[in-house]
Each structure stands twice: as structure tokens, then as C-alpha cells.
Structure 1
Amino acid sequence: MTEVTFRQATIADVKSLLRIENAVFSSPWTEKAFRNEFYTNEYAHYIVAEQEEAIIGYAGVWMILDEGHITNVAIHPNQQGNGYGRALLAELIHIAQENNVTKITLEVRISNTKAQQLYQKFGFKNGAIRKKYYPDNQEDALVMWVEL
């Protein structure tokens, strides 16, 4: 595994985040959505994973009091399968814990068993189903949660 470093994302990273978002997700966020996260969502915290000064992934969490909600975890497809997603998620959870977050939730596509398995490795448990959560194909989302 080539060394990957992490840092807080900034508004200057939006183009890189969009590149990854569009490569990974069938219903990607827009530039406007990312700008909103950086400029108006006081609870949002995003980090990027860099390899040789290139952004290869990013993750975000909303931290509200002692609760966290993971919004996105994405590694560019060219870099998947190298353990970077696990490292990125570990860093995000570490940051949440440093900010006194004790519980984290997220939604994941029912069909995305690869992501579900990753979350389970961090102790996430299955919760509710959000029916027709994803707008591109009306797929259900599995809500997962963990107490830190």
C-alpha cells in the first residue's frame, strides 16, 4: 500500500471531490451540494485522502452534539481494493471521537454489500430500512449505526 495521508478538505478541493463523486456514485452530489457543505453547514467536516499530492478519496461526517452522520465515503475506482477506504473511514471515525461523538449513523445502498462489510468491520450494526431512498433507481437504503 503506497502511503496515503489525510487532511481536512477545503473549498479548493471541490473539483477533485466531484471527480471522485462522479466516478463512484450513480447519483452523485452536485458542485452546489458540496459548496453548501463547506459554506453553510456548520456541522459538516470533510477529509481527503492524498497519495503523492493527488486526492484519491474523501469522506464526510456531520457532527451534531454527540452524534455523527456519515454523508460520504469514496475512493476513486482506480485506487479501490488497496485498503484506502478502510484507512479513510478509520481517520473519519477518529476525528469524530476527538469531537466527542459517541454514536454514528449512515445510509448505504441495500445492494452495496462491499461497503456494508467495511462498515461492519468498524462495529456498525444494521438498523432500519429507508424505502426508495436513492433517487436514481428508488433503491432502499440500509441505515447502519455504531456506538463508539
Structure 2
Amino acid sequence: MTIVPMEERHLDDLARLERLCFSRPWSRQALKEELTNPAVCFLVGEEAGEVLGYAGMHCAAGECYVDNVAVFPEARRQGVGRKLMEALLQAAAARGGEFLSLEVRPSNLEALALYRGLGFREVGRRRRFYDDPVEDGLLLTKDLEKEEDPCCS
């Protein structure tokens, strides 16, 4: 698998992936707007031109926040999400991030295991953060060290 910065050629697949994975999916247009946002890093995992998944974050004032991580069902349990998250961690550190934070559903046990395995720790809970179904969001964070940025190298 190759990890590359998100490009316009990825948008149709990513919008489809959003609809598959999230109760409030980002639209193709919302994803497209991130292409020109200097505060973001959206990375796509692909193999032989096929999109397997993606992960994206925003960084500002030393704080980085994961917007989304999604992997197509047929590519799950193959390390795609882990590799994308490792690349985001590297990018966040390279952008001067002091920490990377995210929310996750408590019921998403696979994602929780991934994030905890990468060193994220629970620092809070956002009541009724998710809907369809309504569920709290666990706030996780990981402290960062300086790295080389895969989005801008």
C-alpha cells in the first residue's frame, strides 16, 4: 500500500467511503474544499490505483485533530487504518503539533484498540456527540515528537 496526499482524483471514492462509514458523511464538495486548506493533511491509502482508505486532520496553534479515518470494508483488518494513523501522527508532529486528538464511539471497539495500540489515551467524554445512534464520544489524545511531514515532502 502507498500513502499519498489526497488529490481530486480520489474524491469520488472518498465520498462513497464516507457514505458507507458515517451517519453524517462528508460530501464530495466538503472533501474538495480541504484540498486547498493549508491547515489540513488528508492522506489516502491506495494499492494499484484503488483507494483502500483515508485519514485526515486539521492542525492549528500546536493542536492537531483527526477529522476522519475510514477504510473500505474489503480492506479492513489488513493494517490500512494503522498505517494511515501512523502517517497522520508523523504529519502532525512535522507540522509542530504538540498532540493529536480524536473522538471515537465507545462501541467502536476495533478503532479503540487501534488508537490505544498507537499510544492514545482517553482524556474525556463528549456527551451525546454522535447520532444515528446517539452515543457519547470518547476524546483520545497522544503527545507528539517532531517528525518529517508526509503531506508536504
Question: When the two structures are superposed, what TM-score results if normalisation uses the length of structure 2?
Answer: 0.87
1:63 is the counterpart of 2:50:
no
Compute the displacement of 1:60 (Å): 0.2
Compute the displacement of 1:11 (Å): 2.9
Aligned partner (choices 61, 73, 88) of residue 84 of structure 2: 88
Whether the aligned pair in 1 keeps the contact of 2:41 and 2:91 (CA below 8 Å) is no
1:30 is the counterpart of 2:41:
no
Q: Structure 1: any 5+ residue segments left out of the alignment? A: none
Whether the aligned pair in 1 keeps the contact of 2:69 and 2:81 (CA below 8 Å) is yes
User: Match for residue 8 of structure 2?
Assistant: 11
1:20 is the counterpart of 2:17:
yes
1:145 is the counterpart of 2:141:
yes
The percent identity for this pair of structures is: 32
Compare 26-35 and 69-78 and name the one that shifted more.
Answer: 26-35
Aligned partner (choices 106, 109, 129) of residue 105 of structure 2: 109
Aligned partner (choices 114, 118, 136) of residue 114 of structure 2: 118
Partner SS state of residue 53, structure 2? strand
- Post-superposition Cα deviations, 1:33-71, rounded to whole Å, max 9, x if no partner, equal 3233334x4422101001111111100010112110001
C-alpha distance in 2, partners of 1:119/1:147? Answer: 13
Q: Structure 2: any 5+ residue segments left out of the alignment? A: 145-153
C-alpha distance in 1, partners of 2:131/2:31? Answer: 18
- Post-superposition Cα deviations, 1:88-134, rounded to whole Å, max 9, x if no partner, equal 11111111112121201101112111101100111100111111111
Partner SS state of residue 132, structure 1? strand
Compute the displacement of 1:144 (Å): 0.4
Whether the aligned pair in 1 keeps the contact of 2:23 and 2:131 (CA below 8 Å) is no
Whether the aligned pair in 2 keeps the contact of 1:26 and 1:136 (CA below 8 Å) is yes
Count how many residue pairs are aligned between Structure 1 and Structure 2: 144
